[in-house]
Structure 1
């Protein structure tokens, strides 16, 4: 089959790899109808996260039709079912899964010993996202093996298009969880740093959850326009001071809730701390550029909540813990518990509350995927979200 494979920094290739096969009774094989490039894939493209192997298949936003199942589907999945595949692989039976903490599944990371050396404890296996999270082949391919498929799937109806439901795999529940973690109240101002795909979903989630005001911060005109269409007041950080504008909008109190939808590669360039971060990252003395986190901590209203769906790789320097403690801030973060939110979000799509396909700007064949990684990373051609069709 054809798949997009990783071969080093900025080296993604579309090449032939072995077809997946059933390896365990709870496996299924799907024929991929639609997949996408995620912002967190760009961290791999830029070689910012360790433990990738040359030839690893990329991708964790995938859906398709079941073409083969193992012998132990427990009546939950059959050939012909149309499913979205959550990026987190879950067993449904361990201590964490029983509590709805699906991204912390204690069973599915087959390289857990490697992860425990870095993290202290294990978390779930992920599709297409380094050997640390299990080394599972990803879904930017013609076919995908789904381990623990009886639990790791979302059945979707034929009445909805691929584009409407594909993002149930990751960015829609990720934006939703980011907003839910804020515990939004009717009088809250929610400030969201980053208007990429997850930021866009967080904006609309905050609106659906009843925020009084949503502020969105970015610098790209097409992303800011998309944020305004979703109900946000926007700040272009290249054109105006984020601090001054937020002070103006919040009567100098700061937003009660803040969301970091940027992660480890913050693109601010005009501040001393961002220059410091870039130098440290370039010489491998730090893995993350945390300008957004620092700015959120500084601007948040005392007693507020910081929600962090943005991906971070490991070590972050000059983290202002004193501000967090003295301002009484709460930080909530984590990979997304996709299955916790999937049924409710699918219902909202069916009822017309939201159509996640609004975020798609580019749809191309799988073979054009390597070129689209660069287009997406460099924000060329108004690119916000790329969908691939095998």
Structure 2
């Protein structure tokens, strides 16, 4: 007897539009191609390639050579790593922390724990759309506020939050500095967010993945501890994107609640944790070099963009390690430029990955890479503009 079973229906959540270059059928196929090309210049995922012999790689190699990977680590992270993260943030014992498999897992846990089915979340467009995805899974809906304009400074301002919140708003996402624009918040704006959170009993999801690239940064946890969940990443400033390690920090009441829904209860990759401890401990030795090189690199890109009629950088200087090059008035689309660049071994991202409304306007590029590679990008960008305009 043949039993016919219903197929599982795919769940429909907010998802980033992964527009693929010509010749690729799936995102996995494309990223596998990019990953396996040793000559590819990596400007499409905000990764940091400016580390050399900083002790991070050596710590992970030593962990492997000691056969550490045969054992499970402590389920919430090595105590020493937790201490180092808290010291790096300047937060005291009144806060608690869980080590996670990357900031993405932290974001997922926060959305899962905080949101009830009737709740809505306020995010922004452009923004990190995976947060919209998670928030739409666990809450009722997401209010993605358009922020691609000079009036609001290309960021989700306190005024915009007040305009969009209602009695069912429970979570406000603050990616600070913001991917993909590099905009960040003033101390006065952070105080206003504190007042909003306390007045309306809502939570602030403070994603500080790009914090160390900023010229000035303040933690919402310092300003509004009882209503803030902080998401910490080792992917960017520490150059450990492929190791998938991060953390989530909050007051004990919040973290104790998150503990009840942890999926990865056998712990986070211990080789990555050993690298993470070495990364924080060595940070004073390399942080200025990485930041200075990154800022010099964005100046090189700015000089090239300024030579193109109709092109401009939305937020300059960027407080992150990425920027959005607006191309809407150039006659060349970001998709065309991304395709042109990939043929020249440069991986950049057209805007739809980080915006549903404005992705057609800009090319997002990151610049925490060797300066010679940025100079090559600048040359190819100018040549690409000329070639693509000439082909029309």
What is the TM-score when the length of structure 1 is the normalising length? 0.37
Higher normalized contact order (CA 8 Å, seq sep 6+, divided by chain length): 2
Larger proportion of strand: 1
What is the TM-score when the length of structure 2 is the normalising length? 0.37
